[in-house]
Structure 1
Amino acid sequence: MNGKKYNGWNNYETWLTALWIDNEYSSYQYRCELVEEVKEEHEDEDKRENCLASSLKNWIESQNPITESTSLFTDLLNSALSEVDWQEIAENFLTE
């Protein structure tokens, strides 16, 4: 992580990702489903957080529309996604 805090989150990329997940209705619904699934499957809080973080990361990365191309924009998007603190997002979603 780059060490810069942004609006209470670890960094801009994490804040922006969480914001989009929560502010887009279909994304919000899906993230709520993921949270409920994780809560049903795992009693341990650390396992819940790790599983949700992994699920969120896989879900968002699978939505990347330019993953198959090679370009400046692909590299920039992948760089931004690599800065997202998925654990922080998962922890936040699980405590709501």
Structure 2
Amino acid sequence: MKEESSVSRLQIMSVMGLSKQRNYLLTQYLQAIQLPRGFGGDLVFEFQVSQGRVRHLVLDEQASSLKEQTVMELIRRSLLAWLPEESRSNR
């Protein structure tokens, strides 16, 4: 019997309006989230970053294939709490 490594990782497929540095920081931040095992799919979020904080976060339910509410909420809360290191140093 083959044992599967079922570590769930988040991946950013497309981003607009973030610098390469902030995109990298966001990717690192999201990949550190401890996700429940056994889910898969796509989540499409649209959000604005203003003064280094995520604002106006919207889940595009029609473009998203993942319907697991607990995972969607975990990622949503994590995005709202995200503050890139470069923003922290500018305070």
Please confirm whether the aligned pair reaches a TM-score higher than 0.5, indicating the same fold.
no
**Structure number having the greater helix percentage:** 1
Q: Tell me the TM-score normalised to structure 2 length.
A: 0.30
Tell which has more relative contact order, 1 or 2 (C-alpha 8 A, sep 6+): 1
